[in-house]
Structure 1
Amino acid sequence: MDDERLADVLEELPEDEQLRLIEGLDMERLTNVFEEMEFDDLADLLVQMPGEQRSRVLEAMDDDDAETMRQLLSHAEGTAGALMSPDVIVMSPDATVADALARIREPDILVSIAAQVFVAHAPHYPPTGTYLGVVHFQRLLRESPNLTLGQCVDMEPTISPTMVERDVAVRLASYNLLAVAVCDDNNHLLGAITVDDVLDRTLPANWRRNPTPGVMS
């Protein structure tokens, strides 16, 4: 099984099975697999590791990725900060609708991430400059290609990294959001939480093994 496929499998497994699956992998293979995982999923896995093993993994990772993971791991378990992913699309308010459409069409971007473009001043990777809002892909499809994102940005509710998971789920449901921005007290974008992130936390751990009601196999 190649690294990308193994990473996909790990992201779908309960945490106890994740640890069993990676047991016996050498550090080089382990870090290669972890590089293919989404940051929020990887953070969940690293939390389950013994502290010494987790430290070795972080030391072996790319410096930027390791720093991102340390920031995620610094948030209390069960909060928005621990649940969010910094791997989101962030663009300048001066970027055009055409620029944004080209970005969300990139094949390596997950559908849940490509559903919206967050708009902020530089730097454009979390933690960003001042956060301005979001433009959903449906609006991008309707607007003129030459319009700037600053001219069509929506200011939807944001959440604090200290918000508990249940309240995050309520916020998403209340506003019918596919994703919600996580911002610090200075209005810098730290990341986002998508609906699928919340479902993974709120559904029972063994839900994937149970037959889906009303669906024939």
Structure 2
Amino acid sequence: MCCALAAACLTGCGGPARDGYAAAGAVAPGPERRAGDNVPPQAPVELRPLGDGPAPSAPGVAGGTPPGAPAQRSAAASAPGGTPATPPGTAQPPQPPPEQPPATSKPPAPAPGTTSPGTPANLTLGPPTRAPAADRWCEKVTVAFANTGTKPATSGTVTFSTHIIGALGIDWATIDTAQPLPAPVPGGTTKAQTYTVCVESWRVPMGMHVETRKATATWT
């Protein structure tokens, strides 16, 4: 009864409530006051709304992000690995096909029981080896024929280049003569043949001689 009377007196003495707020709280004990005396409160005064209005929001909560809270990431943020996020329904651009290693071609292997095709005959002639003959316008010439192919040389011609040398060492002329190839020359083999190479006798007077320095061949 006394407390209610004191609260009513405080409200009445303090005048009408400002902006719809009324002071709430116990009145500190003190000496008796006369009617009309204004006595300030001894404890903190809390102001409360008289109606059902919205409670005041805490600072930094309503309409914003609480202080210290991490900011939300937008939809355009990068996905892991640095690839931008693609909105739903967006068509992906066509990707180029992966590069293929260059194809290497190999000759087909021969079927079982068959042999690979052979290579044609290929003759290599060694340097001619010379020896004296009975006549001064002739000499014996030995030539080696090496067939590096797999097929035999079945026929051909050997051409000799014979130089006519004077008594003072002057090379007066070169005469070519031909003789048959020592066929057949099997593939992968070497065959040597000695020829008697001669020129016309009148070309080699007394004191002159012949030298066969080169041999060439054709074959089939």
So what's the TM-score if we normalise by structure 2?
0.17
Between 1 and 2, higher relative CO (CA 8 Å, sep ≥ 6) is seen in: 1
Structure with the higher strand share, 1 or 2: 2
So what's the TM-score if we normalise by structure 1?
0.17
Structure 1 or 2, whichever has the larger Rg, is 2
Structure with the higher helix share, 1 or 2: 1
